[in-house]
Structure 1
Amino acid sequence: MSGDVQLRAYGQEDFDWLVELHRVHYREVDGFDDTFAPLVASILRAFQDEHDPACERGWIAERDGVPVGSIFCVRLDEGTAKLRLFLLAPEARGQGVGTQLLTACMGFARDMGYRKMQLWTHESHTAACALYRKFGWTCTSSKPVHSFGVDLVEQAWEIAL
């Protein structure tokens, strides 16, 4: 795919694309069942309805006007931001788009005065976990779970900003 990647704000017009990207990716890669897409939809609806633009933001990465990735920074409490919905379309992987999104998200969190960030993921997301480690994140907990119809190892990660 040609062209530079640009980041723009998440908008309601991205809802269907982003839910579908998550549904397809996690079904194909991790075998997730049909309970996952509704979770993503509920997270996005809550963001659209309740987010505070002064301290929360979502980004869409686009190449040649086509969305190829997302990341969100939401408030957990006064000093803590949560990273959510970080995902790249297959055609955008391995090209620095994840680095660009994570840099923007963490920079925003720092600029907003958050002192730390947290995220929740699964051990099977090896590329994302490697990127978190590279940026200085630490895995703070790991436990086996049965979610979305499959056995997984759920992880919590954190970084001081």
Structure 2
Amino acid sequence: MNATTSKIRSFNRFYTSHLDILSQHYLDSDYSLTEVRILYEISESKTITAQKITEILNLDKGYVSRILKRFLKENIIAKVSSPDDKRAFNIELTDLGKELLHSLNNKVDEQINHKIEKLSFFEKENLINSMHTVKNLLSESKPVRSDITYRHEINPGDIGYIIYLHGFIYGNESNFSNEFEKYVIKTFYNFLENYSPEYDRIWMAEYNNKIVGCIAIQHQLVEEAQLRWFLLDPSFRGLGIGKKLLTDAVDFCREKKFKNVFLLTTSMQDKALEMYKIAGFELTWSKEVQEWGKVFSEERYDLKL
């Protein structure tokens, strides 16, 4: 068993025990968690068959059949002829079944509220965001463009988190030393010390209220600006986020009537360099340097507007 598997199993043991779902009688009812989940699926669907339930919950067909027979006997569900196929039957909750599920849902709400009542607002937000992350990582569906939101208002903690992302991503992808993070801190200090809402801006892409990408424009001279801190979490590449951030930054420069926008980068940033060139940036100078534990070419690119 590797470390990742061990940690996941440890979490599973904690979570199932914490929610009291191991008992055969879920929430002190006469039903197991699986049986309650079947009731939930029936209530959520206008038309559902026994076969569909087995597919959704990945359960044995015979096992589901036995549960449904019990529900029929207790008048919790009813079979209704399908309007599309007279040989098939849809399953619906009876009034008694709806009352039962409503009662169980109220108990679940009470249980959850009790378990989180001592958490602060920020702890609750962290809990929900973490659950959302787990759900998306284990789901077959991955984030799509519509899941990403953008903003340019600077909130408390934003800059610190962006500095962390630079250190973490460049440390792992480019193997830069801790000196690089020190450099990023200095550049952000300069940015904030001379920040002008009229001519400076930083854009952030967020997923699930968490920054996954950024870019900034910092004014230099009256007619010149610098593009800085173009970064994207590797997990979110390929969704068009970087293209949008870069486009918004260049459009901002045109709106503010800068005549030139430049950026400083390294020859190691292949993907970013490709995007800069597509956007019209041209290499204006290059020199070999030894910095942050690596030897590379430091490069400047300019875009005349």
CA distance in 2, matches of 1:151, 1:132: 22
Indicate whether 1:7 and 2:147 are aligned. Answer: no
Shift of 1:48: 2.2
Match for 2:241 among 76, 97, 116?
A: 97
The C-alpha deviation readout for 1:110-135, integer Å capped at 9, x for no partner, is 10110110000011101000001111
CA distance in 1, matches of 2:250, 2:280: 11
The C-alpha deviation readout for 1:36-65, integer Å capped at 9, x for no partner, is 111111222222232111111111111232
CA distance in 2, matches of 1:73, 1:154: 19
Shift of 1:92: 1.6
1:109-120 matches, within 5 Å, as: 109-120=253-264
1:1-161 matches, within 5 Å, as: 1-2=143-144, 3-9=146-152, 10-161=154-305
Name whichever structure is richer in strand by fraction: 1
The C-alpha deviation readout for 1:56-75, integer Å capped at 9, x for no partner, is 11111112322111111011
CA distance in 1, matches of 2:156, 2:222: 26
TM (normalized to structure 1)? 0.94
Match of 1:106, SS? helix
How many pairs does the alignment contain? 161
Match of 2:205, SS? strand
Q: Which moved more, 1:6-15 or 1:46-55?
A: 6-15
Shift of 1:98: 0.6
8 Å Cα contact 1:19-1:41 kept in structure 2: yes
Q: CA RMSD in A?
A: 1.2
CA distance in 1, matches of 2:207, 2:263: 26
Shift of 1:24: 1.1
Shift of 1:5: 2.1
Match of 1:98, SS? helix
Q: Which moved more, 1:12-21 or 1:74-83?
A: 12-21
Match of 1:99, SS? helix
Unaligned runs of at least 5 residues, structure 2: 1-142
Match of 2:301, SS? strand
Letter in 2 for 1:8: R
Unaligned runs of at least 5 residues, structure 1: none
- Aligned-pair identity in percent equals 29
Match of 2:164, SS? helix
TM (normalized to structure 2)? 0.51
8 Å Cα contact 1:139-1:157 kept in structure 2: yes
Shift of 1:16: 2.2
CA distance in 2, matches of 1:48, 1:104: 20
Name whichever structure is richer in helix by fraction: 2
8 Å Cα contact 1:35-1:148 kept in structure 2: yes
Higher RCO, Cα 8 Å, sep 6+? 1
Letter in 2 for 1:118: F
